Amino acid sequence: MCGIVGYTGTRPAEPVLIEGLQKLEYRGYDSAGVCTLDDRGVRTTRRALGKLAALKARLSSEPCPGTTGIGHTRWATHGRPSEKNAHPHESDGVTVVHNGIIENHRELRLELQARGRVFTSETDTEIFAHLIALARQQGLPLLEAVRRAVGRVQGAYALAVVDEKTPGALAFARLASPLVVGVGEGEMFLASDVPAVLAHTRNFVFLEDGDCGMIEAERYVVVDAAGVAVQRPVKTITWSAVMAEKGGHKHFMHKEIVEQPRAITDTLRGRLSFDDAAILLDGVDNGALLSTRRVVIIACGTSWHSGLVGASLIESLARVACSVELASEFRYRDPVLDADTLVIAISQSGETADTLAALKEAKRRGCRVLSVCNVVDAAIPRVCAIGDGLGAGTLYTRAGPEIGVASTKAFVTQLVALHLLALQLAQLRNTMTKEALLEDMTALAHLPIHMEKVLAREDDVRALAQHHVNARDMLFLGRGLLFPIALEGALKLKEISYIHAEGYAAGEMKHGPIALIDDAMPVLVLALPGPGYEKVISNLEETRARGGRVLALVSDDDHSLDDQIEGVLRVPTSHQRTMPVLAVLPLQLFSYHVADLRGLDVDQPRNLAKSVTVE
C-alpha cells in the first residue's frame, strides 16, 4: 500500500512523477504529493487530499519546477487521510516519501520530540525526515544519514529522500516493501513497481531487503545494511508498457476480465505435453513435491479462495493431505509444521505482508516453501528461491500486470496453476492413470475456448445486473469446488459495488443464513453439473419455499430450473474440475456491471488497495 516514485535527470521531474503515480494509484489513493528540487536545491512541495486528480488540478496552477523529485500516492495507515498527513514529509530541507509501516514509531516520536523536533503530521513517516535531518546536521553524507536512520527503525519501508543540499541526487532504502531502480540514459528512476516507469526504461535493479543507495543522473550506488557497497544486477524487462494500459476498455477491471482466455493460454503454455501425457512445471523443485507428506496453503483475500479450490484438487488428484490457511491467522497460532510439510504461498503481488511473514515463519520452522505468484521476482518468490535447501521454487501464473484492485485474471490463472500443480503432484506420486491425466489436460487446454463463449454473453449478465443494481444484500451459494467460487462472487460484489454480499456453502444455509431470506434478498445458486448438483437443487428449493428471489448459474444444457428461477446465468458444460474457472466469469461480470451501473469507481474502490503490505 502506498506507491512511491523518484526521478533525477535532465527532464522536468513533475510529469515523470505524475505519470508514475498514475500507474501506482492502485496501491492507494487517499492523498498524493510530490516534491521537486531545481539545480540550486530550491524545493517545491505540493500535496492534495483525495485521488491523484486533485493533485494534478493543483499542479496545473502551481507547478513544481526542477529536474529531481519524489512522489507518493497514499493508503492511510498512521494518521487519517488529510493534506497534512499526505507525503512528502519534510524536516530541515530533508524531504521523504515512504511506503510501509514503522512499528516503533511511538518511541521514536517521543525521543525526537524530547530532542526538540516538532512534528507537523500524525504519520509514522515523518520520523524518517527528522532522523535523517538530525544525522545531516551532524555532518553525515546523505546516504550515510539515511542508512543510520533506517537502522533505528523496526518495520517495513521503501523510502525515497531528497535534500536541498544535494540537488540532483536521491537517496533510497528498502526493507520488506518493494522498490526498484530504473536505469535510464542520463536519468535514473525509483519506483514501487516496474510499470510505474516502464515507459522510460526497460532496465531495472531489484533491490534486496536492507539495501540503501543513491541515484544521480549518470550513476547509482547500492550499499547493504552495513554500509558496504554491493553489486545488484540490472535486469531487462520484456513486457511492454502497453500491456499495462487500459487498451480501449472503460476500466482496467473490464480489460482484465476480457483478457482472461489469453491469460490462461499463457499460464498453460509449454506446461502440457500431450505426446507423453506429462505436466512440465518450470521453476518448481520436483524433489520437494515428491517428498512432501502434507501440504499447507497460505494466502489472503482472493488468493485464499483459489487456495480452497487448489486444496480440493491436490487432495482428490494426488491424495496428499492439504489444508488452506488465512495467512494472517496462521502466523499467530503456532501451527504444527515439520520438514515433511510443503507450504505453498499463493499471492498475485508476491508482497502481501501477512502471506510473506507466514511463509518466512514456515521456512524458519524447517518447511519446504513454494509459491504460486504473478509478479516475477517479488518478495514471496524470493523466499522460495531454489538453492538454500528449503526453497522449492515458484510456479508463475503469467497473468501479466493486474491493475484493477478487484482481482480477476490473477484469480483464474491461480486456479489453473494450482490444477497443474495438483496434476504434477499426482504424476510424481503415481495416483492418476495416464488416461485420467490426459482427460484433465484436455479439459485445461479447452478452457480458453469455453471462456470466450462465456464472455461473449456479457449482455445477458449486464441485463441481470441492471435488474439487481439496487439490491441491499445478496447471497451466493455453492458446494464442493463451487463453494470457493461463491465466496469469490460475494467478495467481488461487495468490494466494488458496496452491496453487502455473503458466500456460503449451500449445505450450511439452513444453519443461519436461511433466516435472512425474504423477497428483497437475491440468492444466486451455483448449480452446475457435478456430485453436489442434486443437493444444491434442494437448497435452491428451500430458498424458494421461503419466498427468496432465486437466481441460478447453470450449464447450457440444463433447463430443468427454468420455471423456478427469477434470473439465470449460463456457462458451457466443461470438465467438472475446470468448472470453477468458467463459473467465476459471469460473477465477475455481474459485479463489474452492478458497480458500473451504480456509477462507482470500479478500478479503485474505497478503502481498498491492491497490494497490502501492512499487517
442-501: contacts with ligand G6P (CB under 6 A): none
Question: Pattern 393-412, binding to ligand G6P, x per CB under 6 A?
Answer: ------------x-x-----
Which set of grid coordinates corresponds to residue 204?
Answer: 531495472
Per the DSSP assignment, residues forming a β-bridge with 273 are 278
Residue nearest to ligand G6P (CB): 301
CA distance 593 to 588: 9
CA distance 46 to 52: 12
Other Cβ atoms less than 10 A from the Cβ of 211: the count is 22
Residue type, 154: Q
Tell me which of 68, 91, 328, 355 binds ligand G6P, using CB under 6 A: 355
Shortest distance, position 612 Cβ to ligand G6P, whole Å: 5
Shortest distance, position 214 Cβ to ligand G6P, whole Å: 30
Q: Which stretch binds ligand G6P (CB under 6 A): 204-212, 298-306, 419-427, 545-553?
A: 298-306
Tell me which of 86, 369, 602, 612 binds ligand G6P, using CB under 6 A: 612
Question: Pattern 330-349, binding to ligand G6P, x per CB under 6 A?
Answer: -----------------xxx
Shortest distance, position 5 Cβ to ligand G6P, whole Å: 20
Residue 7 or 330: the one with the smaller Cβ distance to ligand G6P is 330
User: Pairing mode, if any, of strands 341-347 and 368-373?
Assistant: parallel
Backbone angles phi, psi at 280, to 5 degrees: -120, 105
Residue 304 or 590: the one with the smaller Cβ distance to ligand G6P is 304
Which set of grid coordinates corresponds to residue 381?
Answer: 518468490
Per the DSSP assignment, residues forming a β-bridge with 43 are 37
Number of H helices, E strands in the chain: 18, 26
Residue 131 or 346: the one with the smaller Cβ distance to ligand G6P is 346
Q: Could you tell me if 254 and 590 are in contact, meaning their C-beta atoms sit under 8 angstroms apart?
A: no
CA distance 489 to 409: 14
Shortest distance, position 357 Cβ to ligand G6P, whole Å: 12
Tell me which of 20, 155, 178, 301 binds ligand G6P, using CB under 6 A: 301
Shortest distance, position 550 Cβ to ligand G6P, whole Å: 29
CA distance 422 to 424: 5
Shortest distance, position 302 Cβ to ligand G6P, whole Å: 3
Residue 260 or 302: the one with the smaller Cβ distance to ligand G6P is 302
Q: Could you tell me if 448 and 265 are in contact, meaning their C-beta atoms sit under 8 angstroms apart?
A: yes
Q: Where are the beta strands (DSSP E) in 390-449?
A: 391-396
Q: Could you tell me if 53 and 22 are in contact, meaning their C-beta atoms sit under 8 angstroms apart?
A: no
Of residues 2, 64, 212, 367, which has the active-site annotation? Answer: 2
Backbone angles phi, psi at 361, to 5 degrees: -65, -45
Backbone angles phi, psi at 97, to 5 degrees: -125, 150
Residue 18 or 380: the one with the smaller Cβ distance to ligand G6P is 380
Of residues 23, 255, 492, 610, which has the active-site annotation? Answer: 610
- Whole-number CA gyration radius for the chain: 25
Residue 348 or 578: the one with the smaller Cβ distance to ligand G6P is 348
Binding residues for ligand G6P, rule CB under 6 A, total 15
Tell me which of 67, 85, 267, 303 binds ligand G6P, using CB under 6 A: 303
Shortest distance, position 585 Cβ to ligand G6P, whole Å: 17
CA distance 183 to 3: 19
Residue given cell 445458486 in the structure block = 525
Q: Catalytic residue at 610?
A: yes
Residue 64 or 609: the one with the smaller Cβ distance to ligand G6P is 609
Which set of grid coordinates corresponds to residue 452?
Answer: 470466450
Enumerate binding residues for ligand G6P (CB under 6 A). Answer: 300-303, 347-349, 352, 355, 405, 407, 608, 610-612
Q: Which residues participate in catalysis according to the annotation?
A: 2, 610
